[in-house]
Structure 1
């Protein structure tokens, strides 16, 4: 019942609400009727206007722009983080900072280090090892004997390591001497990705150049038919004539082939044999290298028509094995090296049986690390001005401020227009004037009576409420 009574009270309050009350209201019922109608129209139009304006303002997007002078790195990171957050929304946003220095040397903010295969820093590419492999009698050994081929092949291996190291150093130095063109300040993530991509390109381009050089050296040796000093691809044989003259002519060597066949170095360069130690001599071969029982094998190492080609197809398997290395060292008693000088398999990600060609095609690189310093880059860039522009929906405070700003204007306009419009509408010349005046008079008297009763009811209720409170006290 209290709820229903409350609703009735609100209804009657709205029915009797008069925002245009004047002195004539007490004596002129028609004027009261006009004022009540004007009040109701005013309330409806005001509500509609406020709702429409509130919705329009709340749904409207506004663009804001913030300029930051000489931002620190922390300030830049904070605004950029906010920019990324806003970028995920449906509203447009931009954040740009102009570098005061556009050309920034890579050397100031990036450092590249690398590590080569352990063989390139081992004793096996040192002058002491290579010199001790040399023997004045090496030409008397069987050409596929390691004592004959080992010195030349390890010289080539040392040269490959040296050239790879020089190529990497030169490429890195050239790269670090170049400049990063950065008219706009890069974010830390973009800076890192771009710098590391450029550093990685240095690696891949240097490897590609080195591979082309390897192929050039190999093809030059094969196409030109260069004769090795150890006469592994061809030999100069002497032929005597009855008149006592002699003539030397080249004779292509013959190697053991697959399935008991023969391999001719004059036709192909892919004639290989396991490097080993033999109890035979060069003059016994006559250019034909037959399979013989070896005294000891050098696992993974090959000899062939050309030392360089055979080296590329060899592996360093034996030099990761202390037993294999110790067996080799028994044939070089003057070498001050032990089986403990083997290559450490834990220092490489390559398998021991990886061919030297695959190592060389990767420039013997074990590790390639890039260290970028965004703080150093930002200090060189030194942005003088950053502009942060973003679009967003109006906040509640913005909507409220807008409503308060136009409320006064809407109120004045409605208060000026509505009473005249209602008065004009009620006094329009339609129908019987006497009947219209009588109807309006009775409606006005009825409204006045209702409002008087409602006022009396409110006053009586308030009086009883105060009396009940006094009684309770």
Structure 2
């Protein structure tokens, strides 16, 4: 259903009619147009923030482990979910402040109405009077722009919806309870004789009928956030040439004993191989030194013998 179709039908069907200022038919067009605008504004805000979010890049010197990436991504998403609705609410609060701060008179005269004390005088002065809302009609639009009352149509209470000084303020305090109930929807439908339009109630599994519109927009009209962290894609993008890792383990007593025994066993084998070779080398060195001593002794003896002969 195109929302503009039935809103136009409502508008033109009541354009020449006059309702009480607390009759919901005076507010229905304005409130549903506001609801459409809020949905559009929320969607645009989210789209803009996502574009900015996707433009951010993550730079690291080394490849990060999966746990680190997931923690960083989750922390970033939490911050995004907090900051994005704030951007949306700042825009909405600016609109509300302009309307309330300047005392703008509603086109439906829902906050102020004007009257002449003497209508028989052609140029009599026009006076203004604020509207009153609340359970006991004790909340004045002159002092509080957020005054509201329960919405009714010919005495029928429209569940969830509120009327008040401004259509927007009343909508923010309203719930969409009526739109979850086909009976309530049919009551609204029959008020305007929409025979060619089919309405379907909202899905209870999607959102709660008891949440106010203000609560919904604080969540940016989002029922549930979903985050998809693709570590494999991150890993492929980095494409590391090599990975170096260290394994730190505590060596058990049995392993230490086995290692020492193995070490000694290895030494035994080595000694069996090299001991004969070392013995032969040492033997040759010993024989060489003995031969040197014999040669030196003979040389000394010959020298002494020669000296004796000379004498």
Query: Per the shorter chain, which TM-score range?
Result: 0.7 to 0.9
1:232 maps to what in 2?
110
The 3 A distance-change label for structure 1 pair 138 and 216 is farther
The 3 A distance-change label for structure 1 pair 387 and 304 is same
Displacement, 1:241?
9.5
Displacement, 1:187?
1.6
2:21 maps to what in 1?
143
Say which is worse superposed, 193-202 or 162-171, in terms of deviation: 193-202
Cα-to-partner distance string for 1:7-29 (whole Å, 9 max, x where unaligned): xxxxxxxxxxxxxxxxxxxxxxx
Equivalent residues in 2 for 1:163-312, closer than 5 Å: 163-240=41-118, 245-255=123-133, 257-258=134-135, 260=136, 262-278=138-154, 294=155, 296-312=156-172
- Whole-Å Cα distance in 1 between the matches of residues 176 and 35 of structure 2? 11
Q: Alignment partner of 1:330: what SS?
A: helix
Q: What stretches of structure 1 move > 6 A for 4+ residues in a row?
A: 405-409
Report if the CA contact (8 A) 1:234-1:252 is conserved. Answer: yes
Cα-to-partner distance string for 1:342-383 (whole Å, 9 max, x where unaligned): 11212x242x12111111111111121111211110011112
- Whole-Å Cα distance in 2 between the matches of residues 185 and 235 of structure 1? 68
Report if the CA contact (8 A) 1:138-1:147 is conserved. Answer: no
Kindly indicate whether residue 157 of structure 2 is the aligned counterpart of residue 157 of structure 1: no
Displacement, 1:335?
5.5
- Whole-Å Cα distance in 1 between the matches of residues 119 and 22 of structure 2? 32
Unpaired runs of 5+ residues, structure 1, are 1-122, 279-293, 413-473
Report if the CA contact (8 A) 2:45-2:87 is conserved. Answer: no
1:89 maps to what in 2?
none
Q: Alignment partner of 1:225: what SS?
A: coil
Q: Alignment partner of 2:227: what SS?
A: strand
Q: Alignment partner of 1:345: what SS?
A: coil
CA RMSD of aligned residues (A): 2.8
Displacement, 1:384?
2.3
Equivalent residues in 2 for 1:396-435, closer than 5 Å: 396=256, 398-400=259-261, 402-403=263-264
Between the two structures, name the one with larger relative contact order (CA 8 Å, sep ≥ 6). Answer: 1
Q: Alignment partner of 1:341: what SS?
A: coil
Tell which structure's C-alpha radius of gyration is larger: 1
Q: TM-score, normalising length from structure 1?
A: 0.51
Q: Alignment partner of 1:213: what SS?
A: helix
Q: Quick check: which one's strand share is greater?
A: 1
